[in-house]
Amino acid sequence: MKKASSLTEIGFSPDAKHHLFSPLPDAEPATRTSRHIKITVVGCGNVGMAIAQTILTQEIADEIALVDAQPNKLRGEMLDLQHAAAFLPRVKIASSTDYEITAGSDLAIITAGARQNPGETRLDLLQRNLAIFKKIVPPLAQYSPDCILLVVSNPVDVLTYITWKLSGFPPNRVIGSGTNLDSSRFRFLLADHLNVNAQDVQAYMVGEHGDSSVALWSSISVGGVPVISSLEKNDINLSPEMLEATRKAVIDSAYEVISLKGYTSWAIGYSVASLAFSLLRHQRRIHPVSLLAKGFYGIPEDREVFLSLPAQIGRGGILGVVNIHLTEEEAKRLRRSAETLWECQTQLGI
């Protein structure tokens, strides 16, 4: 008897993957890329440099271009990384305030943006960031028309929407870091309590990267074991108050880091580097990232909002959105999160 070399030969439907993932509307296929990988990082603050340093040490890129509005700090950061050349793989590191240096990028990561001033409304902050992004996104799109744009600046979901509008790119090539890090914090808390490795915990935070994010309790598993149903079978019930307190702890963990050291950097550096690796090495891994969510899980087609959903990513950007099962309460919270973001976007006038 001949040994089967694939599940298709055994009889599994070749269309199975189409039932697991849904494509984004108006998505475009990936363009061919050379083996030489170039990444641009816009914004050389704490977050931008943590991302650049992590990408550098994980051997993801052959070339890194740094862009910032402050020439002295920019050159200092570039030199500081270049001086580590003897301890790292050979990577070309360049910097400039001119976006021409970004030409031919495979991935452009945007971390620049305005911080909220005391007493400033969220809308005022968004308007200031809109003005900044109008100077960043068009030249990135001009010099690297085939790249993937990855937004990290906050508020990330609305700024990813702004980037999509300003770039004119298909939606699969405009992504926000979204709740990728929130989900890692969620997994850490669960793994710490259960005394397991966080990599063996599957748990997602979705929706807005912010206070209205949604914890998907119904799909949490550890080593393939569904957590909630397993606990219920053993007469261990988690009250809604306990679940909400845990969700709040995930959100508050970021604020705690900021209150203690003034900013977050290392975790977001690793989070974005993991996204860069999955995208540029075409890993087809699933990450909860901010994407054009209209039409998914009851979000109206006329709501062009970006929020986080588990998605398969690779060289073409968003390859498909996972058709994950949501409870009615989770779906309701997700739609509420989308409405919150839509209200902010409608006031921007773009």
pLDDT of residue 2: 60
DSSP 214-276: EE-GGG-EETTEEHHHHHHHTT----HHHHHHHHHHHHHHHHHHHHHHSS--HHHHHHHHHHH
- Residue 3 confidence class, pLDDT cut points 50, 70, 90: low
Catalytic residue among 18, 36, 83, 209: 209
Q: What are phi and psi of 314, to 5 degrees?
A: -165, -155
For residue range 281-315, what is the model confidence (pLDDT) as tens digits? 999 999 999 999 999 999 999 999 999 999 999 99
Check the annotation: does 344 bind a ligand: no
Check the annotation: does 44 bind a ligand: yes
For residue range 37-60, what is the model confidence (pLDDT) as tens digits? 999 999 999 999 999 999 999 999
CB 307 within 8 A of CB 338: yes
For residue range 130-179, what is the model confidence (pLDDT) as tens digits? 999 999 999 999 999 999 999 999 889 999 999 999 999 999 999 999 99
Check the annotation: does 269 bind a ligand: no
- 209 noted as active-site residue: yes
Check the annotation: does 321 bind a ligand: no
